[in-house]
Amino acid sequence: MQNELFQSTDQTPCLNFWQPSNWPVAAGWNELVAEFLSSETGRILAHSVKNRIDAGAVIYPPSPFRALELTPLDQVRVVILGQDPYHGAGQAHGLAFSVPTGVKIPPSLRNIFKEIAQETGDFAIAKRIDGCLESWAKQGVLLLNTCLTVESGQPASHAKLGWEVLTDAIIRKVATRNRNVVFLLWGAHAQAKQKILQDHASVTGEHLVLCANHPSPLSAMRPPVPFLGCRHFALANQFLRERGLDEINW
């Protein structure tokens, strides 16, 4: 049954049914997700996605809430915001910037690895062939796309369906509920979420917000803040270390 739900006719994992009950989430997220799904926006979103599936659209990823499944709310220490899932076959698996093991590493993720290699001095990371970032998610890095589904070959195709109401609420929840979180905002789309952080910062602890250009090859080296050379991964770990928190093994 699981394969039937999550496999398209060409065996590429995709979303064949709108069934949120099959998309588990970790502790702390259940109430927020349930409230969204029962809201008018959530119902309109469900109707829109169901209609696209019925029309034959191939939609990724097969499990839109994967980031919430792997990273419980109370364990979030770093938030990395993406825009929408990869739209190529087999790439998206519910974690921003990540691809499943065995899938070719996209250019943006390759630049992320290059930056980590430069910061850490471990230059083998730049040549890494496994683009799965589940190990980050399990350490408390919330890899959140602001839109959680996309149609094959059509970037931003679900950008206006209502997902950002949920993901804005997720960002707000982390900012108000947790202490000492690092927010990595790469590119204009992610940086637009700074307003949420300013309006809903935790009253019990400060956060660190770091901004740079998107890691895409088109912008990674451009001003005003090039991604390559931003030192965000080292700065994030320094922030965590100074507060007695475990660093992230990037």
- Cβ pair 56, 123 in contact under 8 A: no
Q: Which one of the listed residues 10, 54, 74, 84 is annotated catalytic?
A: 84
SS3 label, residue 74: helix
- Cβ pair 139, 121 in contact under 8 A: no
Q: Using DSSP bridges, classify how beta strands 78-82 and 59-60 pair: parallel, antiparallel or unpaired.
A: unpaired
d(CA 190, CA 145): 9
- Cβ pair 170, 144 in contact under 8 A: yes
Find the length of the chain: 250
- For this structure, is 130 an active site residue? no
Burial 116-144 (b: 16+ CB within 10 A, else e): bbbbeeeeebeebeebbbbebbebbbbbb
Radius of gyration of the chain (CA): 18
SS3 label, residue 154: strand
Q: Encoding tokens for residue 110?
A: 């390759």
Tell me which residues are annotated as active site: 84
